[in-house]
Structure 1
Amino acid sequence: MVTVDGWVAAFLDRIEDGHEELTRLDRLAGDGDFGDNLRRAATGARHAMIAGAGGFAALVTAFRATGGTSGPLFGLWFRAFARQVSDPVQAGDVAEAARRGLDAIVSAAGAAVGDNTMVDAMAPAVLSFDSGGDLDASLRRAARESAAGAESTRELLGRRGRSSYVGEHARGVVDPGALAVAWFFSAAVPE
């Protein structure tokens, strides 16, 4: 059974384990600080959870305090989850949170599918949700679709974010923000 704190803890573990990969990708297509920024946010979220904050609320606080553009954008994403999703986790609540989070990011950043950003992983996950369906099946679909969306960024030319500054040099590189979104959904999938 998926719980909010279990999902968040698994996501934080994945960031810790993969922060070097995120940094490597960001060095190829951005300014190279993404992995370190996410690791710092993960550490902050762990401290907030130890202090008693719920998992999604801890992510909001930690990511808003993180540098770069992605920190505040992830803060918007997680704010939707903090407002909508609680235990027991329901597919409909996750679907609504993901949709609201995506809408907030699109509104704030102006990014769209195909721009080579985190939106390329978020949007397919949102579309994959069966809001009235089985939670585990919905999360598995969201994990699969967000991973495919992240992989699709490998062939995109950046039109938003740091990758837009390096042009063709970023082609062939998975967007690290999109990859982090895929990790978020995969962290919720029971092994």
Structure 2
Amino acid sequence: MFGTAETRAWIDTFIGAVRDRGDELTELDRRAGDGDYGTNLRSAVERAAANLAADAPGTPGAVFGAVANAFLHTGGTSGPLFGMWFREFAKTVGAEVSSDVLATAADRAQAAVRRLGNAEVGHKTMVDAMVPAATALTAAAARGDDVRVALAAAATAAHEGAASTEDLLAKRGRASYVGEHARGVVDPGALTVAWFFDAAA
């Protein structure tokens, strides 16, 4: 299981990845959207870092809660959607994080984003990585895999889902406004989901 320290390390690693590689996301969004995704995401993770530093969370759920609040107060469309995604993790995760708990949290989280964003797999959005990651976690939990093995499977599935967006024609989000110009570009939101699971695995 993951405790508070392991969950905090997971989030700190994710924050570091966005700080270091945010320009990649900005470039993807520049090619398929309005170019502000990377900037907004960096703002969100800086808020998350500030929240975690200001009030050290005592449980894994509280760690996710601090991240959720940061994203919910970030501009753009993706910020609030990620905020709702993280909020489902915060609501589901308790004092310890097991494979079963993660599977439940990820499934509830992807369902919330699909409902609020009116997006499905194949629409070229973050959902294309969220759904396969949740499916992989559910399968890992059913096998009795430990947390790290389960998260590694989720990371692999999320990367495969993100890669699948490259050849899609967007049906939701800013990329849907530019039509064929977005084909050949990986969705930055889906790639962010993959980075998130990478940070744990």
TM range (shorter): over 0.9
| Structure 1 residue identity aligned to 2:103 | A
Match of 1:116 in 2: 124
C-alpha displacement of 1:88: 2.9
Matched, 1:127 2:150: no
- In the comparison of the two structures, how many residue pairs are matched? 189
Match of 1:29 in 2: 32
Match of 2:48 in 1: 45
Match of 1:141 in 2: 153
RMSD: 1.2
Selected match of 1:152 from 146, 149, 164: 164
Distance across 2 between alignment mates of 1:105 and 1:57? 16
1:51-82 Cα distance to aligned partner (Å, 9 max, x none): 11432111111101110000000001000111
8 Å contact 1:116–1:153 — kept in the other structure? yes
1:79-98 Cα distance to aligned partner (Å, 9 max, x none): 01111224432111111110
Distance across 2 between alignment mates of 1:108 and 1:87? 28
Distance across 2 between alignment mates of 1:77 and 1:89? 16
C-alpha displacement of 1:133: 2.6
Match of 2:187 in 1: 175
Distance across 1 between alignment mates of 2:150 and 2:95? 16
SS at match of 2:178: helix
1:85-123 Cα distance to aligned partner (Å, 9 max, x none): 244321111111100000101111110000000000011
Which structure 2 residues correspond to residues 72-91 of structure 1 after superposition, within 5 A? 72-91=80-99
Distance across 2 between alignment mates of 1:67 and 1:18? 20
Distance across 1 between alignment mates of 2:99 and 2:78? 26
| Structure 1 residue identity aligned to 2:162 | A
The percentage of counterpart residues that share the same residue type is 51
8 Å contact 1:4–1:86 — kept in the other structure? no
| Structure 1 residue identity aligned to 2:178 | V
Distance across 2 between alignment mates of 1:87 and 1:20? 35
Distance across 2 between alignment mates of 1:80 and 1:25? 27
Deviating beyond 3 angstroms after TM superposition, the runs of 4 or more aligned structure 1 residues are none
Distance across 1 between alignment mates of 2:9 and 2:168? 33
Match of 1:16 in 2: 19
Distance across 2 between alignment mates of 1:140 and 1:161? 28
| Structure 1 residue identity aligned to 2:148 | D
TM-score (norm 1): 0.95
Selected match of 2:103 from 84, 87, 95: 95
1:157-189 Cα distance to aligned partner (Å, 9 max, x none): 000001100000001100000000000111001
Structure 1 unaligned blocks of 5 or more: none
8 Å contact 1:116–1:160 — kept in the other structure? yes
